[in-house]
Amino acid sequence: MKETYYNREDLAKFGDITEFQEELGEKFFNYYSSVFKEGALTKREKSLIALAVSHAIQCPYCIDAYTSDTLKQGCDEEELMEAIHVAGAIRGGASLAHGVQMMNQVKDKLM
Amino acid sequence: MQSLLKQKHKLSSAETQLDILTDAKSAGIPDFKEKLTKSGLYPLKPVQLDILQVNVGKLCNQVCKHCHVDAGPDRKEVMSRETMQHCIDALSRSDIQMVDITGGAPEMNPDFRWFVEKVSKMKRQIIVRCNLTIILANPKFYDLPEFYRKHKVNVVSSLPHFTSRRTDAQRGVGVFDKSVKALKMLNEVGYGTDPDLKLDLVFNPSGAILPGDQAALETEFKRRLKTRYGIEFNGLFAITNLPVSRFLDYLIVSGNFNEYMNELANAFNPMAAQGVMCRNMISIGWDGYLYDCDFNQMLDLKINVRRPHISDFDLIDILNRKILVNNHCYGCTAGAGSSCGGATT
């Protein structure tokens, strides 16, 4: 098998991070499961947010996990792609918003 | 699209399917019997008999990609009136309160209405698993909503999604639009609003994933179907697809079989195992043979009694039987559990 930095089967081993630091790992997983419980936001909404964030941070494990999860929550392709466009808009917007900084510099330096 | 049987596909053989399912090691999962043993549930035994699930035939107007029955227009196996009479005789000799009629499209059996009328007269609850599109398939079916209303049938209908894309991908092009029309016809005679006329929907994922939380899905379906189409319904049953027949074929062809089996096995829930539907029902095939459930029926795993036929119905034997299990049973014990009535925990 071709060796890669990311292996799909490693997602199932996520829980193993407690092997090297049990206390912090368990605290993280307890926190994680609390975050995704139904609250002011539904599980479905949280799952779509997680999918969008997964793309913004470009985590392949998270993308796999939350593609499956959003589908389990009854979302369809259109909803998944709209969530990713939200990530894309924020990422693109973040780059473009820094254009103001560039413009400020330009205006300071040029006649 | 043709049925697997018509295609002479190797998976149209129950034996071939069982060979694949029994080989747990290849899929990298523990044997289901071991899991049950560890939970103190093996051999699995019935607790009572509440439901007679009658599969009146494999003939259907649709050819759904996930169908565990391998039903379709090219399947001609339908239950005879004589076998239906045996079902009625068995009912009259027992206090089974619910008759769950399924198919195929059960309405395509020429004796379907006769059977419903007979059972209705016996004052037993009737479920019909109606695929919705049959109501619009031919003018002779247009009055089905009225027929169901008259006999207070609990209509249970598959609708895998509230959008056409997901529904049509699983059930065929145009099915969603026809299903919406049929649901409106059912609503018009009181289904979904009259407390005596229950209309339940079935959600099952259109792919190699498990269903999510049933209550959350029901809320979402209700909101979407009401706001977009004005449709009302009672409950939503979230059902896991079992690796049988066409869904098994899909899993193998798409390369998802091992991963799906692992997902099912990893989600094994002992509470769900205690509440599996085969502990309080039996399934009857179109030819009168008895099975622990509709899935075992499609795998030709006849019930473990001396004479597994409805004409020899023996309640004591049935209640003392050992239920036959294999690795497809992981589908009913995963997560919140799955049955013909949705989640079991």
Whether B212 sits inside 8 A of A38 (CB atoms) is no
Question: What is the count of residue pairs from A and B with beta carbons less than 8 Å apart?
Answer: 40
Answer whether residue A21 is part of any domain: yes
**A74 interfaces chain B, CB cutoff of 8 Å:** yes
Question: CA-based Rg of chain B, rounded to a whole angstrom?
Answer: 19
What residues of chain A lie within 8 A of the CB of B217, using their CB? 73-74
What's the pTM? 0.91
Q: Say if residue A1's pLDDT is above 80.
A: no
ipTM here: 0.75
Shortest CA gap A109–chain B (Å): 55
Which listed CATH number (1.10.490, 3.20.20, 3.30.70, 2.60.40) goes with B10-333?
3.20.20
B131, amino acid identity: N
Torsion of CA B282, B285, B290, B292, to 10 degrees: -40
**A46 interfaces chain B, CB cutoff of 8 Å:** no
Three-state secondary-structure class, residue B35: helix
Q: Say if residue B186's pLDDT is above 60.
A: yes
Shortest CA gap B259–chain A (Å): 10
Answer whether residue A4 is part of any domain: no
Strand partners, A102: none
What residues of chain B lie within 8 A of the CB of A38, using their CB? 216
pLDDT digits (tens, 9 = 90+) for A14-63: 999 999 999 999 999 999 999 999 999 999 999 999 999 999 999 999 99
Q: What is the CATH number of the domain that holds A70?
A: 1.20.1290.10
Answer whether residue A6 is part of any domain: no
Percent of chain B with pLDDT over 90: 97
End-to-end CA distance of chain B: 36
State both tokens at B191: 């289904």
Q: Say if residue B181's pLDDT is above 60.
A: yes
What is d(CA B278, CA A40) in angstroms, rounded to the nearest whole number? 38
Torsion of CA B160, A44, B219, B125, to 10 degrees: 50
What is d(CA B104, CA B294) in angstroms, rounded to the nearest whole number? 12
Answer whether residue A30 is part of any domain: yes
Number of domains in chain A: 1
- Report the relative pairing of strands B154-158 and B125-129 from DSSP bridges: parallel
Shortest CA gap B167–chain A (Å): 10
The mean per-residue pLDDT over the stretch B221-246 comes to 97
Given a contact cutoff of 8 angstroms between Cβ atoms, the answer to whether B18 and B326 are in contact is yes
- CA distance to B63, B74, B81, B109, B188, per residue, from B57 (Å): 14, 12, 12, 7, 29
Which residues have CB under 8 Å from A9's CB, separation 6+? Answer: none
φ, ψ dihedrals at B169, nearest 5°: -60, -30
